Every structure is written in structure tokens, then in C-alpha cells.
């Protein structure tokens, strides 16, 4: 029944979603110790997403929808086993970072998290109605699948070179780039563009999602001491999820009333996120606006 599905998915999400923020905190600690490259390790998650979608679709087509719950349980079990296999890290020393103790630094972190939440929430209309819109344009299911795959490939490329970007750009600047890309992407999608334009617009997913994701993770990692990283990453993930839920609910109303022009609401969220990211960058204690000296990223 729909009620049972709602309960099962809700319980699953309560366990599944927070684990990614904890994994991000773990990975950024490993990256700080120079054991891994965070961006290059994260790209395998995106690559696995493509493979899982292809394999999952084939399995469901072969066995029927009844296999979905078993596949979910198998995914949870595989995730648990891989987490157990991860090397245990020493408990970080408890100390307050001088950086985050500054009022401007705290404000910069909060505003940066809100910026990322707005930019990621701008994807809600696309996730909910993108396939429906493209199907209405007469695109085949295969082409629609390729459009989604193009977006994920773009984010893989972004993650591949993400560490190099962060050596040159502050995380808040990366967030601003994601917001600017969302503004452009969704303004053009509101015009119901043809396939020729859909391909480059999907390539912008590398910026709207990938740059925003990487910017948020790195912003938190730089701003808080290690013993608080998992908590703050989880709070950041909660903010993004809450914004996405609100945007998803609103997008349904906008799409019912305005069709593809509902993407203008997504563009507005991108603009808000870009503005907030610029404010976050200005508030950074090492920025010129705060009277400090710029420091190289760690």
C-alpha cells in the first residue's frame, strides 16, 4: 500500500541519508592527512550511481517491481559491510579552532550552508518533472536516460579535477559558481529548449550540483575542528534536505500552474544561493572585506 511504502522509505531515509554526511566527514579527514584525494574518491560514487541505475533497470525489467525492496536491503547491507571495512581513525583531539570562534567565521559558515541548500534545492523541479517535460517534447526514453547520464558524467569530471579547483578557489567561490550556473541553466530550461540546447544545459550539472556539493563539504571541513566535523556536516546535510523537500513540494504547485516556466523558480533559488555564497566569501576572516590576509587552501 502507499502508506506502507511511505513508512519503509521514511525509515530507510532516516538511516541512509545521514550516513553520507558522516562519510564526507570521514573522507575529508583522510584527505587532510593526504591519504586520499576527496574529489577523485567522490567521483566513484557518481560513477556507481550510473551503473546502479542501468543494472537496477535491467533487473526490474527481468524480475518485476517486487524485487525493489530486496534491492534496497541489499544496498543497505553492502553499504554496512563497506563501512565496517574502512580503517578506523583515531579520535580527534577536542579543541576549538580559532577560525570558527570568530563571529564573522560562524556567520560565513551559516550563510554558506544556506547558499548550498538553496542551490541544491533549485534542482527540485528538474528532478521531479524533467523526464515528463522531455517526454512531452517527443524524446525517446533512451534519449531521456542519456540526458540524465550526461549530467552525472559532468559531475564526475568536476570531482576529478575538484582538488585542483580548491587550490585556486575558496569553497564559497565554488558555491557562487554553482549558483550562477543554476541561474543560467534553469532560466534557459524555462524556455522549453530543443534537444540541441538540452545537452549543454545538462553539462552544467557539473557546476550546479558538483561544484555546490564539493564547495559545501570543503567549506565545513575548513571551518570547524575535526571533532565537530561529523556533526556540522550532518547539520549541513539536514539543511540541504529540508530545502529540497520544501522546493519539491512547491515545484508541484508551480508546474501545475505554469508548466516549464516553473523553472524560473529554480533560477531564483540559484540566484539566492549565488548571492548568499558571495556574502559568505566576503565574511571569511581571511578576505579583504574583513581586514585579514588571504590564505591558501589546505
- Helices of type H across 36-123: 38-63, 68-85, 98-101, 103-121
Which among 230, 261, 275 is positioned nearest to 133, based on CA atoms? 261
Q: Supply the pLDDT for residue 286.
A: 62
Cell of 251: 515545484
Sign of CA dihedral 3, 126, 40, 276: negative
Q: Supply the pLDDT for residue 53.
A: 78
Neighbours of 82 (CB within 10 A): 10
Cell of 53: 541505475
- The secondary structure of residue 207, as a DSSP letter, is I
Q: Supply the pLDDT for residue 96.
A: 53
Q: Supply the pLDDT for residue 93.
A: 63
CA 224 centroid distance within chain: 20
pLDDT digit string (tens) for the chain, length 298 residues:
677 777 877 888 777 777 877 887 888 788 777 788 888 888 888 888 888 878 888 888 888 878 888 888 898 899 889 888 888 877 766 655 545 556 788 899 999 999 999 999 999 999 999 999 999 999 988 899 899 999 999 999 999 888 888 889 999 999 999 999 999 999 999 999 999 999 999 999 999 999 999 999 999 988 888 778 888 888 998 999 999 999 999 999 999 999 999 999 999 999 999 999 999 999 987 654 444 444 434 4
Angle of helix 171-189 relative to helix 124-136, nearest 10 degrees? 30
Q: How many residues does the chain have?
A: 298
Q: Supply the pLDDT for residue 92.
A: 66
Angle of helix 195-203 relative to helix 171-189, nearest 10 degrees? 170
Distance (Å, rounded) from C-alpha 204 to C-alpha 183? Answer: 11
Distance (Å, rounded) from C-alpha 284 to C-alpha 100? Answer: 10
Cell 580559532 identifies what position? Answer: 98
Q: Supply the pLDDT for residue 99.
A: 56
User: Which segments within the chain are labelled E, that is strand?
Assistant: none
Q: Which domains does the chain have, with CATH numbers?
A: 2-87+99-290 (1.20.1250.20)
Q: Supply the pLDDT for residue 102.
A: 66
Q: Supply the pLDDT for residue 173.
A: 96
Are the C-beta atoms of residues 28 and 217 closer than 8 Å to each other? yes
Are the C-beta atoms of residues 113 and 172 closer than 8 Å to each other? no
Amino acid at each position: 500500500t502507499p502508506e506502507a511504502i511511505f513508512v519503509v522509505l521514511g525509515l530507510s531515509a532516516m538511516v541512509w541519508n545521514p550516513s553520507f554526511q558522516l562519510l564526507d566527514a570521514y573522507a575529508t579527514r583522510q584527505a587532510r592527512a593526504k591519504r586520499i584525494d576527496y574529489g577523485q574518491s567522490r567521483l566513484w560514487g557518481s560513477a556507481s550511481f550510473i551503473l546502479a541505475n542501468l543494472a537496477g533497470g535491467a533487473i526490474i525489467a527481468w524480475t518485476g517491481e517486487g524485487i525493489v525492496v530486496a534491492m534496497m536491503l541489499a544496498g543497505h547491507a553492502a553499504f554496512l559491510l563497506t563501512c565496517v571495512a574502512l580503517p578506523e581513525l583515531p579520535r580527534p583531539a577536542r579543541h576549538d579552532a580559532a577560525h570558527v570562534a570568530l563571529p564573522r567565521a560562524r556567520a560565513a559558515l551559516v550563510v554558506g550552508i544556506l547558499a548550498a541548500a538553496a542551490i541544491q534545492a533549485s534542482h527540485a523541479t528538474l528532478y521531479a518533472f524533467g523526464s515528463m517535460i522531455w517526454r512531452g517534447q517527443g524524446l525517446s526514453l533512451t534519449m531521456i536516460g542519456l540526458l540524465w547520464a550526461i549530467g552525472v558524467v559532468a559531475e564526475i569530471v568536476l570531482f576529478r579535477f575538484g582538488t585542483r579547483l580548491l587550490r585556486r578557489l575558496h569553497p564559497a567561490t565554488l558555491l557562487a559558481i554553482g549558483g550562477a550556473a543554476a541561474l543560467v541553466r534553469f532560466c534557459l530550461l524555462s524556455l522549453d529548449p530543443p534537444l540541441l540546447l538540452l545537452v549543454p544545459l545538462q553539462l552544467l550539472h557539473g557546476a550546479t550540483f558538483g561544484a555546490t556539493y564539493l564547495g559545501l563539504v570543503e567549506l565545513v571541513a575548513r571551518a570547524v575542528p575535526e571533532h565537530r566535523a561529523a556533526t556540522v556536516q550532518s547539520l549541513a546535510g539536514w539543511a540541504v534536505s529540508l530545502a529540497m523537500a520544501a522546493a519539491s513540494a512547491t515545484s508541484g504547485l508551480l508546474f501545475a500552474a505554469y508548466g516549464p516556466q516553473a523553472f524560473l523558480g529554480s533560477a531564483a533559488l540559484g540566484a539566492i544561493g549565488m548571492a548568499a555564497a558571495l556574502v559568505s566569501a566576503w565574511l571569511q576572516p581571511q578576505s579583504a572585506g574583513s581586514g585579514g590576509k588571504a590564505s591558501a587552501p589546505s
